[in-house]
Amino acid sequence: MIQPSHIWRLLQINRILLRHGLDEIVLATRWFRPVRWVWFLLPWNWVPRTRRPRGERIRRALEDLGPVFVKFGQTLSTRRDLLPADIAAELARLQDRVPPFPGVQAREIIAAAFEAPLEQHFARFDDAALASASIAQVHTAQLHSGEEVVVKVLRPRVEQTIRRDVSLLYLIADLTQRYWSEGRRLRPREVVAEYERTIFDELDLIREAANVVQTRRNFEGNPVLYVPDVHWELTRRNVMVMERIDGVSVSDLQTLRERKVDLKRLAELGVEIFFTQVFHHNFFHADMHPGNIFVDTSNPAHPAWMAVDFGIVGTLSPSDQHYLAHNLLAFFNRDYRRVAELHVESGWVPADTRVDDFESAVRTVCEPIFNRPLKEISFGHLLLRLFQTARRFNMEVQPQLVLLQKTLLHVEGLGRELYPDLDLWQTAKPYLERWMGEQVGVRSVLKRFRRHLPEVMQVLPELPLRLDGAMRQLETLQSQQQRVEHRLVELREQSRRNSRRGLLGLAGAALLLSSALIFGLQAPPGAGFMDVPPAAWLTAGTGLLALAFAWFGTGD
């Protein structure tokens, strides 16, 4: 239902679109379509204007529209089958670069969260923001212990803004699903619901701190990724204090080259970290754009990644993990038949899809790509072609995989920027094969047994009693089943007898009626015994006999 707040927000959106030269979008809306001709009569439209490319104009408009539209644009950038290439490429540049709010306001928010003056917790607090995004901004500070930290603070009134815009997205999703032919397949309402869950998770910095701690624990003892520590005593729902890391931005290629960093190793580490998080930990950083990734250059020959901003993390169900791993391996091995079968088995395409047709379509997409040099194969390009192919087979959007697709494209983009010859396939394939082996091998059985050992030990003393009870219940069920089967046999026999009796009664009644007709229509006076013809006597006697069997007989 359209609310007054929706109308006001739509007017604001239209104003921003006009400011960025997107009047063709505004005039195409239902409200303005009848009067669009008036716009072209205005004096400033008489002379052709020089405009930026449409993708850049859309990106700038989304940045001005606020956090919901920025995040949604980032998500849409991974669905390149839905967007023209120039717009998708420009949306991929959305990095939450927004002006910071005043440091004085940040101080007030922190003091209110701690219910104490800043000086009680910090020896120094820098008013100038170190980084500013659409949901929060980061300030540097120093604890009284001398430790350098960063303080993340949510923007004021950001939750109200997000709730208003998410409700508007639901309205747009409902209209899309109702009036667009592709609406049902794209499942826009489910996509918005998944997006809503993701963005509201970002508004709880306690949840983000827990994500940081979980990722830090997952990579404990593994030098490939460093995750800064959290100061729990200084963390609230809208404020989080973390260790300050000293690293080089992954996008600062000049500094990385000056420090002799092994860029090939660094790019391969990104792929390794991604697949480790997705398949081994089933807990992955889902916002790995360059602004959130730094490099530890203390050992240039063996660099390490450093990650921040864990507001968005992703997980997969065991079945999605299974089908995804099998799909990737099937792609690597060019087993297109298996790819088609997996899509049907997983429910990603309708169950009535012809596997042969889908296999042929996938082969048509993949073979031209695989026949190119490995370094020229882009996984993002492959995903784009596969999405376009899947549209023909009514493949539904899988909202739970959108974050994964977005993260994989970020990782590939980072890796190719660091090392253009990065072979994503060759780097990932051994890891996937090893993971698959762990899932079906002896190690997997032992791991699952070890995981469930406490429950087994708890039940073990009671096992004899439970087995005895189960055997007694089984015997009772078998006895009940025998009685039911015997009763069913009796009911079938009774039904058969009743059916036969009914037929005999019907036949007897018919014969008696026939006898009456013979007597009434064919009998001349004085013919037969008691003036009744023999045929009538015979028919009546047979009918009476049939009725007697129906009434007194067994029906056999």
User: Strand 122-132 to strand 148-154: parallel, antiparallel, or no bridges (unpaired)?
Assistant: unpaired
Residue 28 has a pLDDT of: 52
State whether 292 and 427 are in the same domain. yes
Number of domains composing the chain: 4
State whether 485 and 428 are in the same domain. no
When mean pLDDT is compared over 179-183, 375-379, 523-527, the highest value belongs to 375-379
Query: HEC states along 251-300?
Result: CCHHHHHHCCCCHHHHHHHHHHHHHHHHHHHCCEECCCCHHHEEEECCCC
pLDDT for 370 beyond 80: no
- Is-catalytic flag, 287? yes
Secondary structure class of 229 (helix, strand, coil): coil
Q: Quick check: is 449 in a domain?
A: no
Whether the CB-CB separation of 378 and 51 falls below 8 Å is answered with: no
Q: What residue type is 406 in one-letter code?
A: K
Q: How confident is the model at residue 294 (pLDDT cuts 50, 70, 90)?
A: very high
Greater confidence (202 vs 398) lies with 202
Length of the chain: 556
Residue 352 has a pLDDT of: 82
Residue 231 has a pLDDT of: 96
State whether 207 and 112 are in the same domain. yes
Q: Which of 291, 287, 295, 290 is nearest to 224 (CA)?
A: 295
CA of residue 428 relative to chain centroid, distance: 22
Q: Which residues contact 64 (CB under 8 A, 6 or more apart)?
A: 16, 19, 20
State whether 474 and 338 are in the same domain. no
Handedness of CA 368, 373, 378, 383 (dihedral sign): positive
Residue 45 has a pLDDT of: 56
- Residue finishing a domain among 97, 114, 147: 97
Determine which one of 81, 96, 165, 287 is catalytic.
287
Supply the Cα-derived Rg of the chain in whole angstroms.
Answer: 38
Greater confidence (376 vs 16) lies with 16
Q: How confident is the model at residue 95 (pLDDT cuts 50, 70, 90)?
A: low
Residue 145 has a pLDDT of: 94
Greater confidence (430 vs 145) lies with 145
Whether the CB-CB separation of 279 and 197 falls below 8 Å is answered with: no
- Residue finishing a domain among 244, 271, 299: 244
pLDDT for 43 beyond 60: no
Q: Quick check: is 447 in a domain?
A: no
CA distance 417 to 151: 30
State whether 318 and 414 are in the same domain. yes
State whether 173 and 154 are in the same domain. yes
Q: Which residues contact 371 (CB under 8 A, 6 or more apart)?
A: none
CA distance 231 to 400: 31
Q: How confident is the model at residue 529 (pLDDT cuts 50, 70, 90)?
A: very low
Q: Which of 73, 83, 349, 346 is nearest to 195 (CA)?
A: 73
pLDDT, mean of residues 351-378: 76
State whether 104 and 211 are in the same domain. yes
- Residue finishing a domain among 45, 73, 97: 97
Greater confidence (482 vs 107) lies with 107
State whether 330 and 357 are in the same domain. yes
Domain that holds residue 496: 463-552
Residue 128 has a pLDDT of: 93
Share of the chain above pLDDT 90, in %: 23
Q: Quick check: is 456 in a domain?
A: no
Share of the chain above pLDDT 70, in %: 68
pLDDT for 517 beyond 80: no
**DSSP summary character for residue 376:** G
CA distance 419 to 257: 11
CA distance 438 to 480: 45
State whether 306 and 327 are in the same domain. yes
Q: Quick check: is 329 in a domain?
A: yes
Residue 339 has a pLDDT of: 85
Residue 138 has a pLDDT of: 95
